[in-house]
Amino acid sequence: MTATPAENPVLTFEGKRYNLNELPEDLKELVRGMQVADAQLRMHEDTLKVLAVGRQSMAMQLNERLKNVTPMPDQG
């Protein structure tokens, strides 16, 4: 959805444009719900990125610390 102060807000959905002010209230509510869902998805994607970086850091620390520990013999 795009809007500029001098123009009516426009919903662009599946390649078509709609004047948001002319949509029925139930459709406006659906648009708002989708905007909230999009924001939540972005937030959780960012959280996953932070967790991945933290996990990678812990794996590096584990690898470094295990250099001083003798591993068990292979059971081959």
What average pLDDT values come out for the chain (76 residues) when binned by 10 residues?
71 96 97 97 98 98 96 89
Selection from 43, 36, 46 nearest residue 28 by Cα: 36
Check residue 7 and give its pLDDT.
82
Check residue 71 and give its pLDDT.
94
Check: CB of residue 10 under 8 Å from CB of residue 18: yes
Place of tokens 């709609």: 18
Check residue 43 and give its pLDDT.
98
